[in-house]
């Protein structure tokens, strides 16, 4: 599956971008709430209820590569509003507190929303041992684990792709790929190695090495 990343500043802009992602063949969209100018329940309802595709609600903190600078309690409150508005998936970082993870998990369970536990490293790709520890910890909290790291060479890419094989053997739903120019190809190849989906740019890239929905679809066609 292909996820179209939505990072517009207004509700109307997000709705336009979501419809564009649908036309280009996205299977679902990630709403980057931290890019919105207005962070309130009304805006989230307007966007999510207008979406023809399932929505992943993501509110990324500054320290995790996002734009949100508010208090953690406020962030959790906004994510809860997105779940109540009808988001089918919610993304919460692995380094969030246990209480915050439990709050999100409880509401998600009550509303048939699936929890994605994500871990990013924008500087490097750690050892296989560290990657496995992230996989194990994430699988105990969420329904899906997401791991994205920066690749400096082919060995880094190999560790990420090998992790997908391990997750498949253990029955853990995983989204994993390498960021940056050196890891760009893994955004496509990861789908062939068992990643549930890949994240693609709809209007402008939100992560290093992110490519468009059309480019991913064309690459998959050629590989097949």
Mean of the pLDDT values across residues 133-157? 97
pLDDT of residue 206: 66
Order the strands of the 144-150 sheet from edge to edge.
Answer: 174-179, 144-150, 114-121, 89-93, 55-58, 28-32, 2-6, 198-201
Find the catalytic residue in 35, 80, 146, 184.
146
The helix/strand/coil state of 137 is helix
Q: How far apart are CA 213 and CA 219, in angstroms?
A: 10
Give the pLDDT band (50/70/90) at residue 208: low
Question: Which residues have a Cβ under 8 Å from the Cβ of 167 and sit 6 or more positions away?
Answer: 135, 145, 173, 174, 176, 194
Query: Mean pLDDT across the stretch 171-196?
Result: 95
pLDDT surpasses 90 at 195? yes
Could you tell me the CA-to-CA distances from 39 to 87, 134, 162, 197, 207 in Å, in that order?
A: 15, 30, 38, 27, 21
Q: What is the pLDDT of residues 39-91, one digit of tens each?
A: 999 999 999 999 999 999 999 998 898 999 999 999 999 999 999 999 999 99
Instruction: Confirm whether 120 is a catalytic residue.
Output: yes
Local confidence band at 218 (pLDDT 50, 70, 90 cut-offs):
confident
Q: If one looks up domain 2-223 in CATH, what number appears?
A: 3.20.20.70
Which one has a higher pLDDT value, 1 or 118? Answer: 118
* pLDDT > 90? residue 135: yes
Catalytic one of 35, 80, 88, 120: 120
24 tagged catalytic: no
pLDDT on residue 221: 82
**What average pLDDT does the segment 187-210 reach?**
86
Q: What is the mean pLDDT of the chain?
A: 94
């Amino acid at each position: 599956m292909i996820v179209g990343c939505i990072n517009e500043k207004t509700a109307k802009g997000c709705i336009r971008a979501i419809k564009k992602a649908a036309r280009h063949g996205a299977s679902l969209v990630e709403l980057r709430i931290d890019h919105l100018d207005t962070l309130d329940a009304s805006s989230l309802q307007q966007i999510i209820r207008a979406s023809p595709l399932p929505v992943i609600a993501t509110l990324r903190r500054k320290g995790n590569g996002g734009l949100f600078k508010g208090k953690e309690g406020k962030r959790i409150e906004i994510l809860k509003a997105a779940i109540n508005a009808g988001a089918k998936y919610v993304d919460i970082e692995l380094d969030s507190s246990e209480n915050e993870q439990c709050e999100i998990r409880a509401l998600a369970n009550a509303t048939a929303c699936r929890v994605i536990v994500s871990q990013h490293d924008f500087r490097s790709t750690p050892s296989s041992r560290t990657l496995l520890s992230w996989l194990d910890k994430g699988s105990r909290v969420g329904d899906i684990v997401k791991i994205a790291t920066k690749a400096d060479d082919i060995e880094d890419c190999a560790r990420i792709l090998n992790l997908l094989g391990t997750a498949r053997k253990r029955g853990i739903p995983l989204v994993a790929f390498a960021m940056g120019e050196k890891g760009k190809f893994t955004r496509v190849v990861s789908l062939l190695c068992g990643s549930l989906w890949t994240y693609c740019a709809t209007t402008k890239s939100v992560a290093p090495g992110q490519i468009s929905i059309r480019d991913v679809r064309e690459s998959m066609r050629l590989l097949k």
